[in-house]
Structure 1
Amino acid sequence: MKKILNYSIGFLLVLAMASCESGLSDLNVNKTNPSSLDPALLLNQAIINTSFPVKSLVFDVGIVQQMVTPNGGVLAGANFNQDSRDVTTQPLWAAYYQSVIKNTHDALMRTKDDPARSNMYNMARIYQSYVFMILTDEYGDIPYTEGGAGYSDGILFPEYDAQQDIYPKIIQELTEAAAALNPAGTIETGDLLYAGDVAKWKKFAYSLLLRAGMRLIKADAAKAQSTVQAAVTGGVITANADNAYIRHDPNFTQPIGATLNGSEAANFYLAKPFVDQLKNTNDPRLAAIAIRYVGAGSGAGQTVAIGSTDPAKQIGMPIGKDNGTITAAATADGLASFYDYSQVDRRRIVKISSPVFLVTAAQTNLLLAEASFRGWITGGTAAQYFADGIRAHMDQMAAYDPNSAVPAAARDTYVTANPLTAGTELQQINTQYWIASFLNGPEAFANFRRSGFPALTPNPYGQPSNPDVPNGTFIRRLTYPTSELSVNTDKVNKAIERQGADKLSTRVWWDKP
């Protein structure tokens, strides 16, 4: 009996231990950590992280002479014709590969074999194509085929694709993905861009296709024309209701807005060429964009009480000055200090909650104006598309802040006074594109190189002996980050050998003289 009792107790202990182990294993399962992420969350994360990083302000916006700073250090870049790949400001390369392409690639891998998520798969293809277009436009040859495949395929040192190979693939992706979007399929209502609206996603894709086609005008005119025609046939964004833009709030702040409302509030100014263009043509957008703290002698002196949005009082900062030479320039302009120059109004259009526009009706209508002028499309005149593009951008200003809205009467007066004129069509269209792309640095930079307009004077800083930018020329691309040069050395060196020296002055494939 005693043996039976001992065996029974032993058996019960074994059962109890097994039960405890089961309970412990259950406790070790993190029930709040999903084993599989919804691809919609990955796409949304990519969208949020696309908002242009501060490096775009340091380079793109400065290259096209819309804003400039006289200060160096982490702000040195286009203002000094200086290569600063090693500054602490996050470069676009790192921001996009680490936080955008990684997420779109993951979303693609999770949906490509799932018919129920076909629309999500094609939305991710479209968005990834958009981001890859920015990257290749900024740098030239980039990891495309193997870009983002580190986790899925274990490719930690990706090959670089030549830009002339990337563009046809982007065009193919946009064409196929737009055609495959299906309004009868699952509607991905959680996406942050269009809440799954298939018709708007199609317009976004075809507008990107139009943009891609226009990039190729000098590199492959026949491909450019056929691509543009296919985009127009598909249907592009021509109304502001279809604009592709990223929304921000106090939790997801706009990067440039956060910078200009923070540590760099008193360091960036509207550039003289930009202010003069708007001022000399009585453009009502100047009042919507600019503010001047009249008489300010320091950053602390830029108070609301002395701020003026009067277009007549706006004075842009000259290009090519540093914090040693800007003082004399400000004195010559009759200003109290360089803090007295006009700025983009950080309390209106570059708030921390301001939207970031990616592709707009204004931009698309202006590209259509050029395509019409070239005789590539029918159905509308170049003059009408031109006027519609200007109106769309002026109406878009209200989306930043009600106090930046352009009155309809002022808009219409400007459009009437500035018609498309024979003999200057390309200059007019692309100067308006420059204005319509304000705060979208990568697109303003790309279209400036593509078109050659507006007719800006090169930044003279450091010339004629500048080692990065030859005398009388512009920055043509951004250089590869040090991380690539030191870690992915063989692959990036192959790209440099094929493309040309890793310098600011090297042209990307489609950027022909």
Structure 2
Amino acid sequence: MKKHFFRYVLLLLVLGSCTKDFEEMNTNPNRPDQLTDPGLLLPDLIRSVANKNLDNSFDRGAIAADQLATSYASNFSNWFRADAQGYFNWSYYNYIRDLNEVIRAAEERGYNNYKGIALVLRAWLFQNLTDLYGPIPFREASAAGVTGVNRPKYAQQQDVYAGLITDLEEAAGLLGSTGEGVTGDILFSGSIDRWKKFNTGLLLRILLRQSNKVDPTTKMTAILNNGTQYPLFQGYSEQAALQYLTDRDENNMPLYHASNSDYGISSRVTASLVSRLNSMNDARLFVFALPASQSGNYTGAVNGTGDWDDPAKYSPPGMLWAPRQYNATLASTTAAQSILLSYSEVQFTLAEAAERGFIPGGSGAAETYYTNGINDQFSYYASRIPSNYTFPTAADIVPGTGYFDQSTVAYTGNQAQKLEKIYLQKWLSLFLVGYEAWTEWRRTGYPAIVAGPVSPGYVPSRVLYPADEQTINADNYREAVQWLGGSDALNTKLWFAK
């Protein structure tokens, strides 16, 4: 009996050891909850988000904003449910899932800076999603591995915005509150101060976006009165823009590797963009566009007119965004950046806020912000011009002293006229910045965009939910459609724009 007892004890010890070894061998050291450094996830996350932002700016965002045109996507009736994952950012939920894991790992280890960074980047993703679709899966989204919820509930847009404001206010308190360094930050090189400024800019963007529904005065004023908690970008060198590298293909500007047929044949700047820049003698025309190969002039195409008889009649987008196939000598792997949120956008946001009385200073302060935003735009693009360009050079971009004296630019007129000037300059500053120019047009109605003759008769107000949601998440999808007024359609206005 004693002999059997000792054999039993020995067996338990062996099994216990085997179980421990089995658990160790089957523990993935790269799982976020096992990481000692959540920053290991950041480089791929930031790069993927930035690349998607720039790609979709070119393929759909600038088209919806009437800044670029193609013979296909400009017709809007070609915007399908199947485009949700690719062109319309539903795949952002993959990045949100990873950021949820970063937040969980950071909370377990008391890494406030990492949590703050993840909250800011996640808020930017959710803001983009709700501005495209309206009601979206929110608090239950991309968390099935933790919560077991595979069919997440949608939240109405006003509730998404409220939740994002709460998250960004939390991030403002977290960032810089502990001393841990940050690794893997390819956006700001570990600068917590710049993450705080990105956080402030994003908070201001959301507050203004819902300003026709929710008065932002109290929160905006509090932000400007607390520069320590809510610092602002001080120029383009601090803005949220990913700088691409030359070291390997995946770190290059993604459009550099695009097909020339997408750029040199299919994509053109619009007549609307060209005419507005010409009306102000604005040298950004030479950055945003190239001369048409047929005439040598800057000539824009009209959106929504179907196939062009000859694309050579119209100006392609500027060389900063050109693929190597278009011009191997002048195309650059690094000239263009993916802009998530710029200094100039923040300045135009503050200009509108001051003009509308949401923050102190009135028209005087509004003019200062307005002028700051314009000047920084020219300085930014002058800084992006490669040294081997013969035209435009950096000197060609900076405007002369008379630029601000023009009636189309000078900050004069009644309030409505001043706001229109802010809206136009902001629209220009958002060239190839995701879907922001289109979203601002949906909010303000300016500048005017006219649907083309072969379009469905309107410019879209939103995009369609992916088809999978109608089956996999049917009950929650149907509730979201009811919040939209009963129609999951392209011309359904979203809450912020009503």
Give me the whole-angstrom Cα distance separating, in 2, the residues matched to 1:260 and 1:436.
26
Match for residue 227 of structure 1? 219
- 2:451–2:459 Cα contact (<8 Å) kept: yes
Give me the whole-angstrom Cα distance separating, in 2, the residues matched to 1:167 and 1:433.
21
Give me the whole-angstrom Cα distance separating, in 2, the residues matched to 1:506 and 1:132.
20
Does the residue aligned with 1:193 lie in a helix, a strand or coil? coil
Distance 1:349 1:434, change over 3 A: farther
1:157 is displaced (CA, Å) by 1.4
2:326 maps to 1:342: no
1:316 is displaced (CA, Å) by 0.2
Distance 1:374 1:158, change over 3 A: same
**Residues 183-215 of structure 1 deviation map (CA, whole Å, 9 limit, x = unaligned):** 652121431221222221111111111111111
Match for residue 203 of structure 2? 209
Distance 1:294 1:34, change over 3 A: closer
Distance 1:39 1:399, change over 3 A: farther
**Residues 227-263 of structure 1 deviation map (CA, whole Å, 9 limit, x = unaligned):** 3223333232241121001233432344445436465
- 1:275–1:286 Cα contact (<8 Å) kept: yes
Distance 1:279 1:217, change over 3 A: same
CA RMSD between the two structures: 2.8
Match for residue 158 of structure 2? 164
Match for residue 173 of structure 1? 167
Does the residue aligned with 1:92 lie in a helix, a strand or coil? coil
Gaps of 5+ in 2: 1-13, 324-331
Does the residue aligned with 1:245 lie in a helix, a strand or coil? strand
Match for residue 353 of structure 2? 371
Give me the whole-angstrom Cα distance separating, in 1, the residues matched to 2:472 and 2:358.
45
Give me the whole-angstrom Cα distance separating, in 2, the residues matched to 1:97 and 1:343.
33
Does the residue aligned with 2:316 lie in a helix, a strand or coil? strand
- 1:209–1:231 Cα contact (<8 Å) kept: no
1:444 is displaced (CA, Å) by 0.9
**Which one is further off, 166-175 or 82-91?**
82-91
| AA at the equivalent of 1:294 | S
1:356 is displaced (CA, Å) by 0.5
Match for residue 506 of structure 1? 492
2:62 maps to 1:61: yes
1:451 is displaced (CA, Å) by 1.4
**Residues 256-310 of structure 1 deviation map (CA, whole Å, 9 limit, x = unaligned):** 45436465531110011011111222101111221124228xxxxxxxxxxx5xx
Match for residue 93 of structure 1? 89
- 1:66–1:271 Cα contact (<8 Å) kept: yes
- 2:233–2:239 Cα contact (<8 Å) kept: yes
- 1:158–1:491 Cα contact (<8 Å) kept: yes
Give me the whole-angstrom Cα distance separating, in 1, the residues matched to 2:54 and 2:469.
19
1:378 is displaced (CA, Å) by 2.8
**Residues 63-93 of structure 1 deviation map (CA, whole Å, 9 limit, x = unaligned):** 21000111x3xxx3x4344332225981333
- 2:168–2:199 Cα contact (<8 Å) kept: yes
- 1:81–1:475 Cα contact (<8 Å) kept: no
**Which one is further off, 375-384 or 483-492?**
375-384
| AA at the equivalent of 1:107 | V
Match of 1:415 among 404, 425, 430: 404
Distance 1:347 1:180, change over 3 A: closer
2:89 maps to 1:103: no
**Residues 8-67 of structure 1 deviation map (CA, whole Å, 9 limit, x = unaligned):** xxxxxxxxxx9xx99xx89x9599963534321323332212121644434321121000
**Residues 314-336 of structure 1 deviation map (CA, whole Å, 9 limit, x = unaligned):** 0001122111xx32xxxxxxxxx
Give me the whole-angstrom Cα distance separating, in 2, the residues matched to 1:101 and 1:151.
13
Match for residue 320 of structure 1? 304
The 5 Å alignment of 1:12-161 reads 29=25, 34=30, 36-37=34-35, 38-51=37-50, 52=53, 54-70=55-71, 72=72, 76=73, 78-87=74-83, 90-98=86-94, 100-115=95-110, 117-161=111-155
Match for residue 10 of structure 1? none
Give me the whole-angstrom Cα distance separating, in 2, the residues matched to 1:258 and 1:485.
35
The 5 Å alignment of 1:362-511 reads 362-378=344-360, 381-402=365-386, 403=389, 406-407=394-395, 409-410=398-399, 412-417=401-406, 418-423=409-414, 424-462=417-455, 466=456, 471=457, 473-500=458-485, 501-511=487-497
Instruction: Calculate percent identity across the aligned residue pairs.
Output: 27
| AA at the equivalent of 1:420 | Y
**Which one is further off, 340-349 or 151-160?**
340-349
Distance 1:490 1:264, change over 3 A: farther
Distance 1:262 1:151, change over 3 A: farther
In our comparison, the structure showing a higher alpha carbon Rg is 1
Distance 1:406 1:120, change over 3 A: same
Give me the whole-angstrom Cα distance separating, in 2, the residues matched to 1:53 and 1:240.
18
1:411 is displaced (CA, Å) by 5.3
Match for residue 12 of structure 1? none
1:429 is displaced (CA, Å) by 0.3
TM-score by length of 2: 0.82
How many residue pairs get matched? 448
Does the residue aligned with 1:93 lie in a helix, a strand or coil? coil
